[in-house]
């Protein structure tokens, strides 16, 4: 039981709240209605297993760096409280569940699953050679709503699939924006260990400005999505609230004061995810959205 406790602590399973609502949005926007229980189950399984695979692999790949970082050297995998064989077992099991759920969702999701796995596996190594790693992480997370869209529509490259690509862009810039903020606390460690990040490359003040620009692009993406899908008033109220929350997030973090970074990263982004999810659902079901 302790290994299970340490495992969930390691992968921060509760942070699934950041991405799972967006995967569901891809599903709801794709069909404009409630999905069948079967579809809902396998999309949930695909998302949860993909995140478990990626987060566990990330902890294993970054283990040498985490052991030298004062912020992370007490993680269960670093201290040995969580055994590496347990973590590797979780990687394998979650990979099997991801491929199984992709298979059950249909031929196209299954055919595209190796591409998703390429990003789920490869993004952990990108910070070793490029400061664009924040955007690669964002793109990887953005594959969740794209995959859910494919699961319910079995389509991705027609003109009617444009909302899915916009949603991919929204998630990419949202995740990249707050990952840049999060990386500000590791500038000295990244420089010491030769890891690439925007704060380490350009400095914290410029990094925070770029983060704000990413979130501006996110809001512009939401505007375009709402117009394209014909979403009704709850969506637009949610968009205003999301903008306010983003302003608050950037207000909390200052170049020379990162003391409130955890509040900005964990609390505010969790609220944003829920606001976007429920307001978009309202925009679909209370006004006949998705044209």
Q: What is the DSSP string of 187-240?
A: HHHHHHHT---HHHHH-HHHHHHHHHHHHHHHHHHHHHHHHHHT--HHHHHHHH
Answer yes or no: are the C-beta atoms of 21 and 276 closer than 8 Å: yes
CA atoms within a 13 Å half-sphere pointing along the CA-CB vector of 251: 7
Q: Over 80: is that where the pLDDT of 291 sits? A: no
The whole-number average pLDDT for the span 18-26 is 85
Output the pLDDT for position 125.
96
Average per-residue pLDDT for the chain: 91
The whole-number average pLDDT for the span 214-238 is 96
Output the pLDDT for position 106.
95
| Range name among 76-90, 217-231, 232-246 with the lowest pLDDT average | 76-90
Closest CA to 223 of 205, 207, 210, 242: 242
Q: Over 80: is that where the pLDDT of 17 sits? A: no
For the entire predicted model, the pTM comes to: 0.94
Domains along the sequence of the chain with CATH: 5-9+17-113+123-285 (1.10.357.140)
Q: Over 80: is that where the pLDDT of 225 sits? A: yes
Residue 13 pLDDT class (50, 70, 90 cuts) = low
54 exposed, middle or buried (CB, 10 Å; 0-12, 13-18, 19+)? Answer: buried
Residue 91 pLDDT class (50, 70, 90 cuts) = very high
Output the pLDDT for position 289.
55
| Range name among 142-146, 221-225, 269-273 with the lowest pLDDT average | 269-273
The whole-number average pLDDT for the span 40-66 is 94
What lies within 8 Å, CB to CB, of 282 at 6+ separation is 232, 233, 234, 235, 238
CB-based burial, 6-43: b 16+ in 10 Å, e otherwise: bbeebbeeebbebbbbbbbbbbbbbbeeebeeebeebb
Residue 257 pLDDT class (50, 70, 90 cuts) = confident
Q: Which two tokens stand for residue 174?
A: 């949202």
What are phi and psi for residue 83, nearest 5 degrees? -75, 140
Output the pLDDT for position 250.
94
| Cα gap 3→6, rounded to integer Å | 5
Answer yes or no: are the C-beta atoms of 233 and 286 closer than 8 Å: yes
């Amino acid at each position: 039981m302790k290994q299970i406790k340490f495992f969930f602590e390691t992968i921060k399973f509760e942070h699934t709240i950041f991405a799972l609502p967006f995967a569901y949005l891809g599903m709801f926007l794709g069909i404009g209605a409630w999905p069948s229980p079967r579809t809902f189950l396998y999309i949930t399984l695909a998302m949860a297993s993909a995140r478990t695979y990626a987060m566990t692999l990330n902890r294993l790949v970054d283990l040498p760096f985490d052991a030298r970082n004062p912020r992370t050297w007490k993680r269960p995998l670093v201290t040995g409280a969580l055994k590496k064989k347990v973590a590797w077992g979780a990687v394998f099991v979650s990979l099997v569940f991801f491929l199984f759920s992709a298979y059950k969702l249909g031929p196209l999701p299954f055919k595209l699953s190796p591409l998703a796995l390429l990003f789920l596996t490869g993004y952990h190594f990108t910070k070793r050679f490029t400061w664009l790693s924040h955007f690669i992480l964002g793109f990887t997370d953005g594959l969740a709503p794209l995959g859910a869209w494919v699961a319910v529509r079995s389509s991705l490259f027609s003109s009617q699939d444009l909302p899915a690509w916009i949603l991919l862009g929204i998630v990419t810039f949202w995740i990249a924006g707050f990952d840049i903020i999060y990386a500000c606390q590791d500038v000295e460690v990244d420089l010491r260990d030769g890891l690439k990040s925007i704060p380490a490359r350009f400095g914290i003040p410029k990094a925070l400005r770029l983060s704000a620009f990413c979130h501006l692009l996110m809001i512009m993406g939401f505007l375009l999505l709402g117009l394209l899908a014909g979403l009704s008033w709850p969506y637009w109220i949610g968009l205003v609230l999301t903008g306010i929350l983003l302003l608050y997030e950037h207000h909390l973090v200052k170049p020379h004061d990162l003391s409130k970074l955890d509040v900005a990263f964990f609390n505010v982004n969790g609220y944003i995810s829920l606001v976007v999810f429920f307001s978009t659902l309202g925009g679909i079901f209370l006004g006949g959205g998705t044209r």
